Amino acid sequence: MNVEIAGWDQTCDLPNPENHGETRMDAVKRAWEGAMEMAADSWDRWEITKPKLEAIEKSGANPDYVDQLDVDIDDPGYTQFFALRWDKDFRAGIEKVLHNMNTLINSMPSQNGRPKTELYISCNDGGVAQYKCDNDIAFEVDLPNDAGSFINFCPPFWKQARFDVWKKAAASEKHSNNGGPADVSENDWETVRNLERYGFGTDASSIFHELTHASWIGNTNPLVDGKPTPADNTGFYINSQMSKKCLSNSANCKDLVKNAESFTWYAQYGYFRRRVTPRAEIWPLWGPQQKPIVLPV
Ligand SMILES: [Zn+2]
């Protein structure tokens, strides 16, 4: 793990309730590595996508459809969660969050004395006096003056699907498609597909989500009158519907840049799509959970 976490409260030394062979701190560290891997992968995709979006913008009012398909092929998450939007302000908003996710967290090890930005972790309900988990998987609270963040991992966090397990299944699938042994069971593969089909998050995607909330990273879903705006929705399908709303009315597009889940699903869907590309689309093209944005060919 690259990031230096300034403090773990003592509840992180308790056993992981779902796996007594490790502490909660072990489980968080493992998931954190997955979140950082998705952050690096997202940035890598963005660097491929960004010049294509700039070219589309330059091409004027009737951009070449082939250019849009090109973005969709290499970075399908950009189509689904950011509505394949190419205007400059939107691009800048997306880039800022993805850049901060990839670099800020990885560049904050302790220096001589205390780092300016710090992360504090709690692994039990009620880690911050005035906040409660309710049904949250985790929550993030900014420290004053952009000094860092407090992240509380709540009871449902430990039950989440493990990113490292799914990653292994996806890697095996790709391997078998390249002529290697099919060493992934159909069950494992179904689990990876269900990630997209039913919108299950992983332990790593929860960490990714919370980090985008931090004001010094993405300031997603900031509180207005005590309520997050846009609503802090969870779920793959709901968040792709937000993208559709942006396509039908550009006034809605600003919500995508302020929505933790849009970034989180962009990261995770893109990550797995890249690794299972030889297999057909993992998001259903029909039915109630169908892929919402399908570019005509
Ligand atoms: Zn949230």
Q: What is the DSSP annotation of 91-147?
A: HHHHHHHHHIIIIIGGG----SS--SSEEEEE-STT-STT---TT-SEEEEEPGGG-
Q: Report d(CA 9, CA 163) in Å as an integer.
A: 24
Q: Read off the pLDDT of each residue in 71-80 and give the average, rounded to a whole number.
A: 91
Which residues, in sequence order, are bridge partners of residue 140? 151
Centre of ligand 1 to C-alpha 48, Å, is 28
Centre of ligand 1 to C-alpha 138, Å, is 8
Centre of ligand 1 to C-alpha 182, Å, is 37
Centre of ligand 1 to C-alpha 157, Å, is 13
What confidence score (pLDDT) does residue 66 get? Answer: 81
Residue 60 or 97, more confident: 97
Centre of ligand 1 to C-alpha 205, Å, is 11
Centre of ligand 1 to C-alpha 109, Å, is 25
What confidence score (pLDDT) does residue 208 get? Answer: 96
Question: What pTM, to 2 d.p., does this model score?
Answer: 0.90
- CA dist 160 → 28, 128, 144, 188 (Å): 11, 22, 30, 15
- Determine contact, residues 1/32, Cβ cutoff 8 Å: yes
Centre of ligand 1 to C-alpha 174, Å, is 32
Q: Report d(CA 95, CA 81) in Å as an integer.
A: 14
Q: Give the confidence band of 166 by pLDDT, cuts at 50, 70, 90.
A: confident
Nearest to 275, CA basis, from 184, 155, 154: 184
Q: What is the CA radius of gyration of the chain?
A: 19
Q: Judge whether residue 171 has pLDDT over 90.
A: no
Q: Report d(CA 137, CA 206) in Å as an integer.
A: 7
The length of the chain in residues reads 297
Q: Give the start-end residues of each E strand in the chain.
A: 7-8, 15-16, 19-23, 118-122, 138-142, 148-153, 223-224, 227-228
Q: Read off the pLDDT of each residue in 42-61 and give the average, rounded to a whole number.
A: 92
Q: Read off the pLDDT of each residue in 213-242 and give the average, rounded to a whole number.
A: 87
Q: Report d(CA 149, CA 286) in Å as an integer.
A: 41
How many CA atoms are closer than 13 Å to the CA of 229, on its beta-carbon side? Answer: 7
Centre of ligand 1 to C-alpha 279, Å, is 31
Tell me which of 30-34, 103-107, 242-246, 277-281 is least confident.
277-281
What confidence score (pLDDT) does residue 114 get? Answer: 62
What confidence score (pLDDT) does residue 238 get? Answer: 76
What confidence score (pLDDT) does residue 191 get? Answer: 62
Centre of ligand 1 to C-alpha 281, Å, is 28
φ, ψ of residue 31 in degrees (nearest 5): -65, -35
Mean pLDDT estimate for the chain: 83
Residue with tokens 């998450």: 77
Centre of ligand 1 to C-alpha 140, Å, is 8
Per-residue pLDDT tens over the stretch 94-149? 999 999 999 877 766 555 556 678 889 999 876 665 678 888 899 999 988 878 89
Centre of ligand 1 to C-alpha 261, Å, is 7
Neighbours of ion ligand 1 (CB under 5 A): 232, 260
Centre of ligand 1 to C-alpha 210, Å, is 6
Q: Report d(CA 241, CA 2) in Å as an integer.
A: 34
Structure letter (DSSP) for residue 216: T
Centre of ligand 1 to C-alpha 294, Å, is 28
Residue with tokens 């394949």: 84
Centre of ligand 1 to C-alpha 236, Å, is 14
Share of residues in the chain with pLDDT > 70 (%) = 78
Centre of ligand 1 to C-alpha 115, Å, is 25
What confidence score (pLDDT) does residue 134 get? Answer: 83
Q: Which CATH class is domain 41-114+161-275?
A: alpha beta
Residue 296: both structure tokens together: 């005509």
Q: Give the confidence band of 226 by pLDDT, cuts at 50, 70, 90.
A: confident
What confidence score (pLDDT) does residue 181 get? Answer: 43
How many CA atoms are closer than 13 Å to the CA of 169, on its beta-carbon side? Answer: 19
Q: Give the confidence band of 272 by pLDDT, cuts at 50, 70, 90.
A: confident
Centre of ligand 1 to C-alpha 207, Å, is 10
How do the domains of the chain map onto residue ranges? 41-114+161-275
Centre of ligand 1 to C-alpha 235, Å, is 11
Centre of ligand 1 to C-alpha 221, Å, is 7
